[in-house]
Structure 1
Amino acid sequence: MGGVQSRQPALVGDIVELSPLQPEHSAALLSAAADGELWNLKATVVPGPDAIDDYIANALAGRQAGTVMPYAIVLRATGLICGSTRFWKIDRANRKLEIGHTWLGSSVQRSGVNTEAKYLLLIQAFEVMNCVRVQFTTDELNDASRAAILRIGAKQEGIVRNERIMPDGRKRNSVRFSIIDSEWPDVKAMLRQKMRR
């Protein structure tokens, strides 16, 4: 356990703590996903009751392999888990990774939780892990997610066609965004200002 924690520290902000995902988080994650029945969304994959065990097992297997750092998003005021996010596609040789698999219960969307969670992840990526590139990918059809990624200062790079096959069999086109190391100081300043507001 200690080894996992040292490789994947908790990230603590003012309103959220990103806590390394554990098997015992499954009931709390399901409860967060039930806030808006997020597993019914077509443009994103959120675990429902049938999928939660595989969801956590896959995340933990990725952590074991060194390519994924999965987190539960915990509201500090209440200790309740309200969603999940992760670093994945971690490529240490090229100092790049992707932030993704992010979802939040309906009641905390547009509340500042996402901005602070992304801020904590980006500090870890650029200032601790020394990344030169952090990328984000979302469904071409997911307008809310696309807008949220642009709001945190990422630049759209393009559309990747038939990038993945969704659970319902749809061939998904994905939009790719990134922040690179030279942009990070300006993005950081903008996010800090946003969080102060």
Structure 2
Amino acid sequence: MLAFQEEYTLENSVVKLTPLKSDDIEKLVHFSIDEPELWRYSLIQADSPAKMKIYIEKALEGRQNKNSYPFLVFDKRTNQYAGSTRFYDIQVENATLQLGFTWYGKKFQGTGINKNCKLLLLEFAFEVLKMERVEFRADHENTRSINAMKSIGCKVDGILRSNTYKPDGTRRDSIVLSILKEEWFQSVKQKLKEDTRH
């Protein structure tokens, strides 16, 4: 079971995930200034320093309310902070959670950092927290994100049509994907381990 007051650190030789803190804005704010396109599909925009502050505050509020646990992502190879990710919609009674609000600066995309993060997070979710299902969601038009999820072993559950508002006030179709505990142990873990060795 996830202890929200606990300071979890997940790491391997490539990446280190530490609990997000309010002063981490100093490590992430340049992404909001220099790479506003990162937030194109995000439901919570962080494309300015003020919005990044709100983004982090909301993430920390979720942890305080015991429904999310956000992490700061550090790339050990470049010795730089790469982005953020989190567990959210944590349902202990159903042994399910969602993994999302994941973003990395452009220079970290396609470098293997995402697969290393997912290996650590999924291992933690299934083997420490004893989850039965980990869910992922994305804007149905966000092909980069969807392809990344499929490449780590996610199966498509379906499309939630017009299920939420985008920041611009239009409606969004959300694709839902998931990994089940048995899939993790049967194949997903091994494949991710092989992928992260390259």
TM-score interval, smaller chain: over 0.9
TM-score (structure 1 length as normaliser): 0.92
- Asked if residue 97 in structure 1 is aligned to residue 94 in structure 2, the reply is no
Q: Secondary structure at the match of 2:56?
A: helix
Distance in 1, Cα, partners of 2:128 & 2:77: 26
Going from structure 1 to structure 2, the CA distance change for 1:46 and 1:17 (only over 3 Å counts) comes to farther
* Deviation sequence 1:167-188 (CA, Å, 0-9, x none): 1112010000000011012100
State the partner residue of 1:43. 41
Q: Percent identity?
A: 35
> Partner letter of residue 173 of structure 1?
D
**Cα drift, residue 140 of structure 1:** 0.5
TM-score (structure 2 length as normaliser): 0.92
Structure 1 runs (4+) deviating above 6 angstroms are none
* Deviation sequence 1:55-103 (CA, Å, 0-9, x none): 1111111101111010110112444211100000000011100000000
State the partner residue of 2:27. 28
**Cα drift, residue 47 of structure 1:** 1.2
> Which residues in structure 2 correspond to 1:63-78 (within 5 Å)?
63-78=63-78
State the partner residue of 1:122. 122
Q: Secondary structure at the match of 1:60?
A: helix
> Partner letter of residue 47 of structure 1?
A
Q: Is the 8 A contact 2:32 2:52 kept in 1?
A: no
> Which residues in structure 2 correspond to 1:158-173 (within 5 Å)?
158-173=158-173
- Structure 1: segments with no counterpart, 5+ residues: none
> Partner letter of residue 36 of structure 1?
E
State the partner residue of 2:194. 193
Distance in 2, Cα, partners of 1:17 & 1:33: 21
- Structure 2: segments with no counterpart, 5+ residues: none
